[in-house]
Amino acid sequence: LELRWEGVPSLADALRMLKAQAEVTPAPQWVRVVGGWNEFQFAEKRMPTLDELNQAAPDTPVFVLHLYDRALLNRAALRVVGYDRNTPNPPGGEIQRDANGDPTGMLVAKPNAMILYSTLAKGPKLPLEYQVNSTRQFMRELNRLGVTSAIDAGGGFQNYPDDYAVIEELAKAKQLTVRIAYNLFTQRPKEELTDFKNWTGSVKLHQGDDFLRHNGAGEMLVFSAADFEDFVEPRPDLAPDMEAELEPVVRHLVEQRWPFRLHATYDESISRMLDVFEKVNQDIPFDGLPWFFDHAETITPRNIERVRALGGGIAIQDRMAFQGEYFVDRYGKQAAEQTPPIQRMLAEGVPVGAGTDATRVSSYNPWTSLYWLVSGKTVGGMALYPEGLSRATALQLFTHGSAWFSSEQGKKGQIKVGQLADVIALSADYFSVDEEAVKWIESVLTVVGGEVVYASEEFSKLSPPSVPVMPDWSPVINVPGHWRLNAPMAQQVHQCVGACAVHAHSHEKARLSSAPVSDFQGFWGAFGCSCFAF
């Protein structure tokens, strides 16, 4: 149960949403804002302050995650997690403190995000019934955006099989509306090889069915190989013993013919990882075994060639859409122009698939990602690249291209006889709408396995019955997910929706701009319109 700030146009809106949710959230539950936003999307171009969080929620614990660089906790949250002046900083993390040595509520990854994961994991868990309901609500939101399949790359504090019980229950009940291919992510530093030996002995590769299916290992294979993508901090150097820890795990996976994926941000890390892969390949040939890097923002042409030579792929995600401004601040505009170098990857013939990297940093909305691919811009509007991809290429990476990464090429990703009957009808023509409109596209009809799982507008009569939201204080009741231009919350916040009553044109351009016009009462509201600025 999370409050989502995806697409919210102003910090004022976000804080109103937070305050409203805090007022209905019962003890001991928290209000969580976990990923999918950054300050550059807001009209104010800044983050909330700790004082603003405390004013919005004086008594309800609040945890706000900002990318993978920091988290903001209000005073109530600090009390329940037990952080005080005697709490030491964890390795690679910092608890910021005031002049008296007391925690302020700001947690900083330097650059290890474990402090963020571990603090989030301290929050109370929902009863199983609520977890099942929340998962079904999230799948409906994904279906609304046209998502029919997802690949789960695992994550910190996502233990297998314990934390997969909800998905397993929904699969057995035939209630999944998104197909899921899941990878197993090691959870125990220095015990990674033991984890994977246990899993290869107890889990059959590709076990499951077309709705829930095992997909291999990763994206964490060993903790020493994690190069965190925190562009606020300098690039981390991987531990000197990384190769010695990674090699036996990779050797075991190749022996067992288990596909694997590995998180890698920087070319310097990728070079060392490829050294290990090439060494293993000399003894135990990969010989067509699917493997790939996730992310690879700064990979060089030489290492792309090495990936190709080993038969690997590269899964790219829209992390630069959310972190581009920070990357440019640290490394410069020119360095950002090929992050990641998708055109070079495609030219080399390397399999490339696109995704969102949701939900702890990026949004789960594929249209945000497609907008980044075709426009070359961040969610804050900064132009990163000289030119974007063609719309056809970007879409292909999300569909046919991504099927390779779940070993389902030829089975999904194209509308062809013999492939899975997963299709969507869109609210607008992706190939002809204005570039800025791409990020607001959604589905009006989503079909998975030949069954309608979501329908709206002219297809509303085909919509399956909605699942009642549980519990009655769920954020989904008032904020069902990604911000919508015609959302009830938008109308409530602005007390104005649709066209200007004077000029008969849309207010949305003004609202979503960088000009301070989102508060219609405080800025030009007496005149009823902010259109003069445009």
Domain ranges of the chain: 11-120, 128-437, 495-534
Six-digit token pair at 411? 């089975």
- Other Cβ atoms within 10 Å of 222 Cβ, number: 26
Contact (CB, 8 A) for 348 and 23: no
Six-digit token pair at 111? 């650059």
Predicted pLDDT at 33: 98
Query: What is the Cα–Cα distance from 285 to 511, expressed in whole angstroms?
Result: 57
Predicted pLDDT at 111: 86
Six-digit token pair at 429? 């023509």
Hey, what amino acid is at 209?
A: D
- Other Cβ atoms within 10 Å of 128 Cβ, number: 11
Contact (CB, 8 A) for 372 and 440: no
Contact (CB, 8 A) for 442 and 187: no
> Cα(first)–Cα(last) distance of the chain, in Å?
38
Query: What is the Cα–Cα distance from 399 to 412, expressed in whole angstroms?
Result: 8
User: Is the CATH code 3.20.20.140 the one for domain 128-437?
Assistant: yes
- Other Cβ atoms within 10 Å of 3 Cβ, number: 22
The DSSP output letter for 47 is P
Query: What is the Cα–Cα distance from 314 to 16, expressed in whole angstroms?
Result: 40
Contact (CB, 8 A) for 12 and 520: no
Query: What is the Cα–Cα distance from 57 to 78, expressed in whole angstroms?
Result: 13
ω before 340 within 30° of 0 (cis)?
A: yes
Q: For the domain made up of 11-120, give the CATH fold.
A: Diaminopimelate Epimerase; Chain A, domain 1 (3.10.310)
The DSSP output letter for 400 is H
Six-digit token pair at 28? 């001991």
pTM of the model: 0.90
Identical fold, 11-120 and 128-437:
no
At CB < 8 A and 24+ separation, what contacts does 510-515 make? 510/534, 511/9, 512/9, 513/43, 514/43, 514/45, 514/381, 515/43
Query: What is the Cα–Cα distance from 63 to 32, expressed in whole angstroms?
Result: 5
**pLDDT in single tens digits along all 534 residues of the chain:** 899 999 999 999 999 999 999 999 999 999 999 999 999 999 999 999 999 999 999 999 999 999 999 999 999 999 999 999 999 999 999 999 999 999 999 999 998 899 999 999 999 999 999 999 999 999 999 999 999 999 999 987 788 999 999 999 999 999 999 999 999 999 899 999 999 999 999 999 999 999 999 999 999 999 999 998 899 999 999 999 999 999 999 999 999 999 999 999 999 999 999 999 999 999 999 999 999 999 999 999 999 999 999 999 999 999 999 999 999 999 999 999 999 999 999 999 999 999 999 998 899 999 999 999 999 999 999 999 999 999 999 999 999 999 999 999 999 999 999 999 999 999 999 999 999 999 999 999 999 999 999 999 999 999 999 999 999 999 999 999 999 987 544 444 443 433 343 344 444 444 444 444 444 333 333 333 333 333
Six-digit token pair at 153? 């790359």
Query: What is the Cα–Cα distance from 178 to 197, expressed in whole angstroms?
Result: 29
Query: What does 104-167 look like in DSSP terms, one character per residue?
Result: EEEEEESS-THHHHHHHTTSPPPPHHHHHHHHHHHHHHHHHTT--EEEE---TT--TTGGGHHH
Hey, what amino acid is at 151?
A: I
Contact (CB, 8 A) for 269 and 227: yes
Query: What is the Cα–Cα distance from 342 to 401, expressed in whole angstroms?
Result: 12
Contact (CB, 8 A) for 157 and 121: yes
Six-digit token pair at 451? 């069954």
- Residues 337-373 as b or e (16 or more Cβ within 10 Å = b): ebbbbbeebbebebbbbbbbbbbbbbbbbbbbbbbbb
Identify which of 476, 471, 473, 477 has the alpha carbon closest to the alpha carbon of residue 131: 471
Query: What is the Cα–Cα distance from 104 to 75, expressed in whole angstroms?
Result: 8
Q: How many helices (H) and strands (E) does the chain have?
A: 18, 15
ω before 219 within 30° of 0 (cis)?
A: yes
